[in-house]
Structures are given as C-alpha cells and as structure tokens.
Amino acid sequence: MDVKTLCLGALSFGEATGYDIKKFFECTFSYFFVASYGSIYPALADLTEKGWVACHCEAQDGKPDKKVYALTDTGRAAFAQELGRTPPNHKIRSEFLVLMYFAHLLPKDKIADLVDQRVTEFERALEHIREFEQRHGGDECSSPPPGARICCGYGKAVTIAAREYLLNQRAAIVQLGTDGADSRNWD
C-alpha cells in the first residue's frame, strides 16, 4: 500500500485538495502512516491520469487555483480492490529503541533526556486521542468511519503500555549509561 492508495482512502470521505489531504494524513493517519506534499501531489496527478479521481479547479485571487479532487466510481472500486489485496504489514522503525539497545555507550544524562522526551511525546499522542474521543463522543453521525475508533483505541492501549514501561524502568535504563559528565565532548 502506498500514498496513492491512501489518497483514494482520504477522498472516500469527500472532496478535498492536496493541501486538505496532507492535513487529513496528519490528523488521522499520523500514528501509522505519514506522507509529505512531495508524494501527495504527484500521487494525485497520477490518479487523475488513471481516471480514479476527477479534479475541478476553483479560481482564487492571489493564491494559486484550488484543485479540488473527488473520487470517481472507478476509483472507489479500485480502492476497495486494493484494500482487499493489501498484505496487513505492521512495521516499526525506531531509532529510539536502537539507542536504548546501545545505552551502555551513551552518557546517563543523555539517556534520561531521551526517555523523558519519548514519554512526553507519548503524552502528546494521548492528548491527541483524548481530543478525538471528545469531538466524536456520543454522536454516531459525524464523519470519521467506525474503524477510526478502533485505531484510536489501539493506539491508546499501546501508547499507555509504552509510557508505563518507560516510566517504571526509567531509573534502571539511565543506570545503563556511562558516567563522566558528558562523555565525548572532546571532539
């Protein structure tokens, strides 16, 4: 599965510009999929050529024309088919954990910073999820699909577990590091 397909997915909830789609990626997929303008705009051009999305321009003063994209029927079918044959991979690429693995080569204060930083990021993510839950509290009628709740729940469960682990082990992890103020400051 690539950015192109995810753009179809984003458009399955309604019309949008490339700019909107980037926003969409950021606020709903960010936990498990990222994409930048440099991949979204070419993707939309490609999808238009294939006839999977249709585009109409809205002139604006000063700003460049707004290109609003919409999923075509062919596009909708292509998206469903693509979903059907997507292998359900789940990959983590974590420089943070690499650093933890090699903690014995890092100064203690640095490790403490790394752990605290990560905990903070987890907290931010949880805040983000809480906001989502409030926005889409009782009302079953609003935009996000039911699967969004599952993804949020999943993210929440995993993030809480990770945060708890780091907080419990913080002292032990820091102890793995080297002493000596700020090793290797002599370079």
Site of interaction with DNA (CB under 7 A): 2-4, 17-20, 23, 34-39, 41-42, 44-45, 60-68
Query: Are the C-beta atoms of 33 and 6 separated by less than 8 Å?
Result: yes
Q: Which does 17 bind (CB under 5 to 8 A by kind): a copy of itself, DNA, none?
A: DNA
Cα atoms found within 13 Å of the Cα of residue 47, Cβ hemisphere only: 31
Neighbouring residues of 78: CB distance < 8 A, sequence distance ≥ 6: 8, 50, 52
Distance CA 3, CA 17 (A): 15
Q: Is 19 in the site for a copy of itself (CB under 8 A)?
A: no
Neighbouring residues of 22: CB distance < 8 A, sequence distance ≥ 6: 35, 36, 37, 40
Q: Which does 89 bind (CB under 5 to 8 A by kind): DNA, a copy of itself, none?
A: a copy of itself
Q: Is 4 in the site for a copy of itself (CB under 8 A)?
A: no
Query: Are the C-beta atoms of 20 and 40 separated by less than 8 Å?
Result: no
Q: Which does 38 bind (CB under 5 to 8 A by kind): DNA, a copy of itself, none?
A: DNA
- DSSP line for 124-139: HHHHHHHHHHHHTSS-
Candidates 19-27, 48-56, 60-68, 97-105; binding stretch for a copy of itself (CB under 8 A): 97-105
Hey, how many other C-beta atoms are within 10 angstroms of the C-beta on 12? Answer: 13
Compare residues 67 and 156 and give the one whose CB is closer to DNA: 67
Number of residues that bind a copy of itself (CB under 8 A): 64
Q: Is 112 in the site for a copy of itself (CB under 8 A)?
A: no
Closest CA to 164 of 156, 154, 176, 152: 156
Indicate which single residue of 26, 36, 50, 102 sits in contact with a copy of itself (rule: CB under 8 A).
Answer: 102
Which residues of the chain form contacts with a copy of itself (CB under 8 A)?
A: 1, 6, 9, 12, 28-29, 31-34, 79-81, 83-84, 86-106, 110, 114, 117-118, 121, 145-148, 150-151, 153-154, 157-158, 160-162, 164-166, 169, 172-173, 176, 183-184, 187
